[in-house]
Amino acid sequence: MKVLHFFKTYWPDSFGGVERTIHAIAESTARHGIETQVLSLSPTPVENTRRLDGHTAVKARLDFELASTGFSRAVFAKFDTLARQSDLVHYHFPWPVMDIAHFRSRHGKPAVVTYHSDIVRQRLLLSLYRPLMMRFLSNVDAIVATSPDYLRSSAVLRRFEAKSSVIPIGLDECAYPAPTIADIDWCRSMVSGPFVLFVGVLRYYKGLDVLVDAADRARCRIVIAGSGPIEQLLKRQAERLGRDNVIFPGEVSEGQKMALLHACNGFVFPSNQRSEAYGVSLAEAAMCGKPMISCDIGTGTSYVNKAGATGLVVPPSDPERLAEAINRLIDSPAEAQRWGQAARERFCELFTAEKMGQAYADLYFRLQKRSA
């Protein structure tokens, strides 16, 4: 069975949460006889097609971006060709260009949408896009939410509850490298003593300004690893406020990330807006058996991190409560260890790529059989 995934960005141009999810779906469904192609945009599509692990990445030239939406003239013809060569099309929402390509192509193949997030920030554009969005979601065969929390809390998803299901994002532990001695030495030289960790793309909805604000009350170091649009703003904030216990190592390799995850006392994920629909980084922390701190924003973050079982869930944008939670991890190591063990058990039960791949393969074959 041939499946085409369609999203605005993909490896090697970008490898954030959605891209990691697509990669994990492609690799895990391959074990069930699924052959995957991923079509995305690139500002420099040197190679139109390249092999990535067990699947194929296809690029169309990115012409320009507006309100976090990539546009491409070339992508429509490529999508039409690849969709007609496939048995099923798997869209990753949101991306308005995808909706247009779907209706323009009229490919007639079964279509699945993984609904990663509501549109939160671009409210003016949403009012213009809403008619097309609702028509698109009405037209596809199945919609997948990544957590029961998001399915319940999204006003859009509630409109399509009859054809929606939940498949949590799963991770392939074997895809993560073991940290080398050099990675471990780098980690030790970069931070000593107890510390909590955030790692990910530094975006506006991650609540990292709240974390920097909370740092003066935290009895440990705070490592904010990664790069992104607000990196310099955060560094200036930390310098202005004198938050000397906040460390910014910048972009880290996968090996360095794993060294940090294994060495940290806990993982802090202060995202404070619904744009954070799941939190793949939380699942990575659970995979490593780490206690977690996240915020109650009505999304999948409180599904991955179960309050009182795998860590602590605090109100969003509350630096005092965030600092209290961090200190509880540091001051109560036995409790933190129990949460970390429970996080690892919950990961094995719910968040593995094997379970995700089986669920998507079952959905694909069910839709293919229905359309036959």
User: Are 234 and 139 in the same domain?
Assistant: no
pLDDT of residue 27: 94
My answer on whether 105 and 226 are in the same domain is no
Structure tokens at 6: 């369609």
Return the pLDDT at 48: 61
- pLDDT tens-digit map of 223-255: 999 999 999 999 999 999 999 999 999 999 999
Q: What mean pLDDT value characterizes the chain?
A: 95
Q: Is the pLDDT of residue 14 over 90?
A: no
- Are 104 and 192 in the same domain? no
Domain span including residue 338: 174-350
| Predicted pLDDT of residue 67 | 74
The per-residue b/e assignment along 6-37, b for 16 or more CB within 10 angstroms, e otherwise, is bbbbbbebeebbbbbbbbbbbbbbbeeebbbb
Residues 154 and 12 in one domain: yes
Residue owning tokens 């003016």: 124
First to last CA, the chain: 13
Asked whether the beta carbons of 183 and 158 are under 8 A apart, the reply is no
Same domain, 46 and 178: no
Q: Are residues 24 and 161 in the same domain?
A: yes
List the CATH number of the domain containing 281. 3.40.50.2000
Tell me what pLDDT residue 232 has: 98
Whether residue 144 sits in one domain with residue 16: yes
Q: Can you give the pTM of this predicted structure?
A: 0.92
Question: Is 17 in the same domain as 130?
Answer: yes
| Structural element, H or E, at residue 224 | strand 221-225
Residue 51 in this model has a pLDDT that exceeds 80? no
* Six token digits for residue 107: 């490919």
- More confident call, 286 vs 12: 286
pLDDT band at 47 (very low <50, low <70, confident <90, very high): low
118-127: per-residue pLDDT in tens?
987 777 777 8
Q: CA distances (Å), 268 to each of 15, 39, 291, 366, in order? A: 21, 33, 9, 39
162-171: pLDDT as tens digits: 999 999 999 9
Alpha carbon distance 251, 269 (integer Å): 17
Same domain, 6 and 90: yes
Q: Does residue 155 share a domain with residue 7?
A: yes
Q: Domain count of the chain?
A: 2
Residue 53 binned pLDDT confidence (cut-offs 50, 70, 90):
confident
